[in-house]
Chains A and B, each alone.
Chain A
Amino acid sequence: MSQTLGRSSAAGSDAEPLAAATPLWAGLAAVYRAQLSRVRVSRVPLLFVAVFQSVGIMILMRGVVDTGSDSAREAVVAGSSVLVVAFVALNLLAQHFGALRAANALDYYLTLPVRPAAVVLGIAAAYASFTLPGAVVTAVIGALMFQLPLANLWALLLVVPLSGAALAGVGAVCGLLSPRQELATLLGQLGMSAALLLGIIPADRMPMVVEWGRDVLPSSYGVDAFIATYGTPDWAAFGADLAVCAAVGVAMLSLATWAFRRTARG
């Protein structure tokens, strides 16, 4: 993008030179900082809701799953931890972008020399970054409830940002492409419900069709990566699952960037 803009400044011999475009990182940092201050007020209650929901689900699942099976317990705890990320990154972000679009608020960014990617990433990063404490708290409570080791908890430092990127990308695309705000909210909630159902029920108990659904949902790879760190860690699987998250994140955030530009010029 910077290259095409560079060429346009040479257009027409007596055209006014264009002011500098904002570098990607500077734009991202400015948007991130502003968004972080924006969500500061609502951060604590939202995190509380997200953690409360995940812990509630773990309590429910304790009566349902076979607590003798390692894989079942790991699936429930990992799924519930990543659910915190899905709640914020997918559901809330879809709502936020839907609202921005409905209020013509994207005009503000579109008339500043900042790259759409910086705006999408900055907003997504602000939402995703406040999910980390929630995911950690949920994982700790889960580990205590289901007698799982706490040794590899640091893995969340990778799992949360990467699955956060993938889910935030999906959320942003839903919010930006929905023709109506209510639809954006609905899609965000549907996505979160899917993450809830498909992420928490242990994979080996599912019918074939549901398992395919699980395979297309990016949060599943975050869940699987976290599961891989329990017991005897399988670092190859961990890396592979995170790579999928990262790839989906890049693809979805690129799509969101495209959607962001497209929205404006209707």
Chain B
Amino acid sequence: MAIVGATAAAAPDAAASRVSARTCYRVAGLTKTYRTGRRRARVEVRANDAIDLDVRRGEIFGLLGPNGAGKSTLVRQLTGLLRPDAGTVELLGHDLVKRPDAAARLVAYLGQDSGALDELTVGLAVETTARLRALDPAAARAARDAVIEELGLGELAERPLKKLSGGQRRLACVAAALVGDRPVLVLDEPTTGMDPVARRAVWSAIDRRRAEHGTTVVLVTHNVIEAETVLDRVAVLDEGRVIACDTPGGLKALVGDEVRLDLVWRTDPPQDDPAVARLACEAVRTGRRWTTRMDPGTARELLAAVTSGPAFDTLDDFTLSTPSLEDVYLALGGRHEGLVKG
């Protein structure tokens, strides 16, 4: 939440009052359909369906959604890689549909695959990327050393990417994306496969760039914790459409003040206990886990009854939590169980 405060404080600036000066990306009616297969077996997938979005300068904007929601398709159009079937993408005053190559000179992009860098060492991958962003040799080496230090990649600098673990390789790719300070970062699932230490290093590197240079970040994630921790605003995607777009707090307010009560039983709980009976008819069961959503007062009451009565002996674990973005996604009518909680 401190992150949101920081943006608000930076905003009141004379030039910033003009709408265009505050907008990084303006996306309207963006539509993309993939066509695969020959005539008879023709399959059409509408990966993006009339997407409207505004990303403000200097914000960390998230795209959250399950696999196949159309997040990668959207960011590939934001980076000039894919031509939309319909709609417009404006990046810092440049029309990306007409001039897709402008994106390469404003945006650093981290794609989902690392193919092109796999056989290079971490150091050379980062340095080459810096050179290809027009840094001269000395500046490229300095920038390489700085970002490798920043992300704690020093020990791995001489190792080829393909010899690293998935998370380490991803971190090296993040380093390549960050080198050469671009005003806009578009990162497609940057922290996939990373351990918590690496993940935090990425989040703080992103945050530092925003604080020091006003960098705008568009970050694709299907990780709810990541979304709640680092994003200023988040667009929730489902089946090619934006089903909601707000701050994480604002989105959670949509589901009201319901809380979630999770109970995990060691063995079958006593059915004659009234609290258990009440929970039994409301809970969604997955194995021995019961999940219920209810107002906070009732949840506290039932939890107190369960933990002080005979049912407590059969109880293994319980959690009472405020709504997460996953609850928001489901409450908004999301139809997939693809979001990651860890």
Query: Which residues from chain A sit less than 8 Å from chain B, CB to CB?
Result: 5, 8-9, 11-12, 14-16, 18-23, 26-27, 29-31, 33-34, 37-38, 41, 99-100, 103-114, 264-266
Contacts and interface: CB of A to CB of B under 8 A. Distances in A.
A31 B99 CA distance: 24
B282 interface: no
Interface string B220-237: 000000000000000000
A8 B102 contact: yes
Given A14-B18, A30-B131, A100-B115, A265 B94 contact: no
Nearest to A261: B101
B113 A22 contact: no
Interface in B78-122: 79-83, 92-95, 99-109, 111-117, 119-121
B21 A113 contact: no
Contact of A112 (B94, B95, B129): B129
Given A22-B133, A112-B133, A12 B94 contact: yes
A99 B102 CA distance: 27
Chain A CB count within 10 A is highest, among B101, B108, B125, B133, for B101
A103 B124 CA distance: 20
B81 A107 contact: yes
B132 A31 contact: yes
Contacts, number: 125
Chain A CB count within 10 A is highest, among B20, B114, B115, B121, for B115
B265 to A, nearest CB: 46
Contact of A110 (B81, B92, B94): B81
Contacts of A21: 105, 134
B99 A30 contact: no
Nearest to A5: B101
A122 to B, nearest CB: 10
B46 interface: no
Nearest to A41: B119
9 contacts: A5-B101, A5-B102, A14-B20, A19-B105, A19-B134, A34-B124, A34-B128, A104-B115, A108-B111
Interface in B123-139: 124-125, 128-129, 131-134, 136
A111 B109 contact: yes
B134 A105 contact: no
B132 A114 contact: yes
A30 B106 contact: no
Interface residues of B, number: 45
A100 B101 contact: no
A113 B100 contact: no
A176 B87 CA distance: 28
A110 B104 contact: yes
B70 interface: no
B21 A14 contact: yes
Contacts of B121: 37
A106 B115 CA distance: 8
Interface in B313-338: none
Contacts of A106: 116
A112 B99 contact: no
A265 B96 CA distance: 12
Contacts of B125: 34
B87 to A, nearest CB: 15
B182 interface: yes
B113 A38 contact: no
A106 B104 CA distance: 13
Nearest to A20: B134
Contacts of A23: 134
What 6 pairs between A and B have smallest CB-CB spacing?
A: A15-B93, A105-B115, A16-B92, A103-B115, A30-B131, A108-B116
A38 B120 contact: yes
B58 interface: no
B80 A111 contact: yes
Interface in B177-217: 182-183
A146 to B, nearest CB: 39
Contacts of B119: 38, 41
Contacts of A11: 93-95, 99
A184 to B, nearest CB: 15
Interface string B135-172: 01000000000000000000000000000000000000
B131 A22 contact: yes
Contacts of A31: 128, 132
Given A5-B105, A16-B94, A111 B81 contact: yes
Given A22-B131, A34-B120, A111 B107 contact: yes
Given A11-B93, A108-B111, A22 B128 contact: no
A23 B106 CA distance: 16
A12 B134 contact: no
